[in-house]
Amino acid sequence: MTSVSSSPITDTILNFIDGSYREGSEGKSFSNVNPATGAEIGVVHEASQADVADAVAAAKAALTGPWGKMTTAERVKLITAVATEIERRADDFLAAEVADTGKPRHVASHIDIPRGAANFRMFADVVSTMPGESFNTPTPDGGQAFNYTVRKPKGVVAVVCPWNFPLLLMTWKVGPALACGNTVVVKPSEETPRTAALLGEVMNAVGMPKGVYNVVHGFGPGSAGEFLTSNPDVDAITFTGETGTGQAIMQKAATGVRDISFELGGKNPAIVFADADLDKAVEGLSRSVFLNTGQVCLGTERVYVERPIFDAFVARMAAAAQDFKPGVTGDRAYLGPLISAEHREKVLGYYRRAVEDGATVVTGGGVPEISGAEAGGFFVEPTLWIDVAHGDTVMREEIFGPCCGILPFDSEDEVIALANDTVYGLCASVWTENLSRGHRVAAAMEVGVCWVNSWFLRDLRTAFGGSGHSGIGREGGVHSLEFYTEITNICVKL
């Protein structure tokens, strides 16, 4: 496996506005750090309010240029070419994603980059086969009218993204937005600006008209995030990130009554019944807790296990945790770093809080000893707790680290109530070999997505999103089309 630190990238990351790369007009910049080493590896040019306004203006102008005049078939051809070009430049995208996130190459090469391409390809397919709606309507004069719908792009869509799966989560929104004929201004996370910037090269290479895809770098309040979401020429805002940020953006969206789609935080439960296939459950749940170092919105942070198999399950999970060795090189290739020193402090705060509240640490609980280039990386140990109470802080608040609390339960009704007792509602998983119970309990989960005997098994045509504090709206397949298009109903008197 190639070492991240053996090929440091020390470069300049620019905004992409109206088809060209640009420095920030106020000369501001911030550093780009590799979380696997803690080393500064690049400088990011921060967009000023004027730069953001330029990007939005370019996106607005593009709506009435060649892009706005294209047929769906022509758009689909371009979007498919974007997917092919991402695949052709997979190594460049991989290097950029690994540099920004520090994640192990095998995670980015199996998940982030292929999904980046798939998100364009799949939504090109969805719009190609998009059905319309029509009704024959009897009229008072004994005649008939014919109603049918026409879908149009919403306009300029602001896409505000997090850092955990930068290319995947950005293209999950840019793919359908462009497929529906919108133009976009993307604000990647300040932690992970590279793949969004690199996608600008892809857009130019395939001949995407200028202004269709724009990228502005910066932070949230008082920076590019706020400038973008408060710009009145933005017609809709799609956001993935923390619930508190979603609330701030929603207030901005209220001005001008702009539409929003939010994919927010979670505190996702897993329920393991005594009749579960333990091999499957441990394999699935160890991935669910530790994949991407727990920095997955869909990750499991609460596990409820039926009492007869509680001890066996905990022992098996603890053994599985040993396979997630912190580090990204050599034989320590499984558990990458957290995204930043600040996020590590937050996660370690929860590690301490769990113990203060009386939890028993089954495994992990601290910072691993790592030498060499990665000694400065933001690693933590994979961590499991038992003797936690359902009401403990670590069982209620989203941690976004490689950890979970494991609690025993005695009855189906009890565990359904425990799983649903949260302000969040993103996802859940249920593990049982009893088919009826699997369906019954899955349907009782108050979440947007529930898996039975699996986790993170994604079909991009399905509805994706959360309820409660986990979000507003659903994206995926035709659900994305609902958000990224405006409908005009045309009524023709025959």
Ligand X SMILES: NC(=O)c1ccc[n+]([C@@H]2O[C@H](COP(=O)([O-])OP(=O)(O)OC[C@H]3O[C@@H](n4cnc5c(N)ncnc54)[C@H](O)[C@@H]3O)[C@@H](O)[C@H]2O)c1
Q: Which residues bind ligand X (CB under 6 A)?
A: 160-164, 169, 187, 189-190, 219-221, 225-226, 229, 240-242, 245, 248-249, 263-266, 297, 398, 400, 426, 466, 470-471
Select from ligand 2VS, ligand X, none the partner in contact with residue 140, using the beta carbon and a kind-dependent cut-off of 5 to 8 Å: none
Residue closer to ligand X (CB basis): 326 or 476? 476
Tell the burial category of 233 from Cβ atoms under 10 Å away from its Cβ (0-12, 13-18, 19+).
middle
Q: Which of residues 83-102 bind ligand 2VS (CB under 6 A)?
A: none
Residue closer to ligand 2VS (CB basis): 440 or 461? 461
How far, rounded to the nearest angstrom, does the alpha carbon of residue 457 sit from its chain's CA centroid? 15
Residue from 325, 396, 458, 461 binding ligand 2VS (CB under 6 A): 458
Tokens standing for residue 484? 């990224």
> DSSP state, 143?
-
400 touching ligand 2VS, by CB under 6 A: no
Residue from 34, 37, 80, 164 binding ligand 2VS (CB under 6 A): 164
Out of 263, 301, 398, 475, the active site residue is 263
Tell the burial category of 432 from Cβ atoms under 10 Å away from its Cβ (0-12, 13-18, 19+).
buried
Closest to 33 measured CA to CA, from 13, 16, 48: 13
Closest to 194 measured CA to CA, from 39, 344, 43, 324: 43
Smallest separation, CB 249 to ligand X (Å): 5
> DSSP state, 296?
-
Taking CB under 6 A as the binding criterion, the range among 56-64, 150-158, 165-173, 406-414 that sits at the site for ligand 2VS is 165-173
484 touching ligand 2VS, by CB under 6 A: no
How many CB atoms neighbour CB 201 within 10 A? 14
227 touching ligand 2VS, by CB under 6 A: no
Smallest separation, CB 236 to ligand X (Å): 14
Select from ligand 2VS, ligand X, none the partner in contact with residue 458, using the beta carbon and a kind-dependent cut-off of 5 to 8 Å: ligand 2VS
Smallest separation, CB 36 to ligand X (Å): 18
Select from ligand 2VS, ligand X, none the partner in contact with residue 172, using the beta carbon and a kind-dependent cut-off of 5 to 8 Å: ligand 2VS
Residue 433 among the catalytic residues: no
Smallest separation, CB 464 to ligand X (Å): 7
Q: CA separation (Å) from 56 to 21, 211, 222, 248?
A: 15, 8, 17, 20
Task: Decide if 416 contacts 441 (C-beta within 8 A).
Answer: yes
Distance CA 470, CA 422 (A): 10
Q: Where are the alpha helices (DSSP H) in 44-165?
A: 49-63, 66-69, 72-88, 90-101, 105-107, 113-128
Select from ligand 2VS, ligand X, none the partner in contact with residue 226, using the beta carbon and a kind-dependent cut-off of 5 to 8 Å: ligand X
One DSSP character per residue, 308-348 reads: GGHHHHHHHHHHHHHTS-B-SSTT--SB---S-HHHHHHHH
Task: Decide if 354 contacts 380 (C-beta within 8 A).
Answer: no
Q: Which of residues 293-312 bind ligand 2VS (CB under 6 A)?
A: 296-298
Tokens standing for residue 353? 């809080």
Smallest separation, CB 423 to ligand X (Å): 13
Smallest separation, CB 164 to ligand 2VS (Å): 5
Residue from 424, 464, 483, 484 binding ligand 2VS (CB under 6 A): 464
In a 3-state reduction of DSSP, which class is residue 233? Answer: coil
All residues at 6 or more sequence positions from 375 whose CB lies less than 8 Å from its CB, including other chains: none
One DSSP character per residue, 358-412 reads: TPEEEE--S-----GGGGGS-----EEEES--TTSHHHHS---SSEEEEEEE--H
Taking CB under 6 A as the binding criterion, the range among 83-91, 92-100, 162-170, 202-210 that sits at the site for ligand 2VS is 162-170
41 touching ligand 2VS, by CB under 6 A: no
Residue closer to ligand X (CB basis): 354 or 447? 447
Please identify the residue of the shown chain whose CB is closest to the bound ligand X: 220
262 touching ligand 2VS, by CB under 6 A: no
Tell the burial category of 469 from Cβ atoms under 10 Å away from its Cβ (0-12, 13-18, 19+).
buried
Residue closer to ligand 2VS (CB basis): 296 or 445? 296
Interface residues toward ligand 2VS, by CB under 6 A: 164-165, 169, 172, 296-298, 458, 464
Residues with a known catalytic role:
263
